[in-house]
Amino acid sequence: MEMEGKGKTEEAYSLFLQAWNEATNDFEKFLAAHYMSRYQKNSSDNLKWLETALQFALKINNASVQSAFPALYINIAKCYEDLKDPDNAKKNYELAISYKNNPIDKGPFYHGTKAALQTGDLLMAGGSSNYKPDLKMNHIYFTALVNGAGLAAALAKGAGRERVYTVEPTGSFENDPNVTDKKFPGNPTRSYRSTDPLKIVGEVTNWVKQTPEELQNWQKKLANSKRDIIN
């Protein structure tokens, strides 16, 4: 992916192919097939790799890959359009719509912060972004990965200690579009957002904490990021 980011497409293709050949489990095969599809020169080969990625995603069929289904089905539908197969194109577009913005993750869910809160408190949308302080957030964010919430706590503004709370959504929620399909297919970080409050139901004290060097690297990446936040 680093080679791809530098525009070195031949080197990136060779490494993605190596990843496919050396993949040892369904998730690695799903990822490698997804990236291989992007390097095909015709719709027929692209379709083959996309359908291979889909087959492995369907075998895995958990919250880490299910949010990849809409993009997979849409790209498969486009291939069928290019191949003059409108029936299969229509079927895959309909499958994409059926999966879109419908996360089925059951949690448990976590939110990282430096604020001292109590069980029963509500976390509300409308706060300032940790990454762009002048931006008022229209959603409250959370994750099903405790270490991801721990990272968010480490990066959060404030002088308090890092805290990770177990939370329950009080309303509907969606995949966080700032991460879904942005770097990896789907939502492997199991990151979500809601316009409804999150209710605190407990506090977690054990997660993998960032080393000072790792935290400094994350802060540097955020400071140098030019990407707009989808709000």
**Domain positions in the chain:** 2-99, 109-224
In this predicted structure, what is the pLDDT of residue 112? 94
Query: Does the domain at residues 2-99 carry the CATH identifier 1.25.40.10?
Result: yes
Report the mean per-residue pLDDT for the chain: 89
Q: What is the pLDDT of residues 158-176, one digit of tens each?
A: 788 999 999 999 998 988 9
pTM of the entire predicted model = 0.75
In this predicted structure, what is the pLDDT of residue 185? 82
Residue with tokens 């540097």: 220
The class level of CATH for 109-224 reads: alpha beta
Q: How confident is the model at residue 225 (pLDDT cuts 50, 70, 90)?
A: low
How many helices (H) does the chain have, and how many strands (E)? 9, 7
CA distances from 81 to 76, 84, 167, 205 (A): 9, 5, 43, 51
Q: What is the pLDDT of residues 75-95, one digit of tens each?
A: 999 999 999 999 999 999 999
In this predicted structure, what is the pLDDT of residue 226? 64
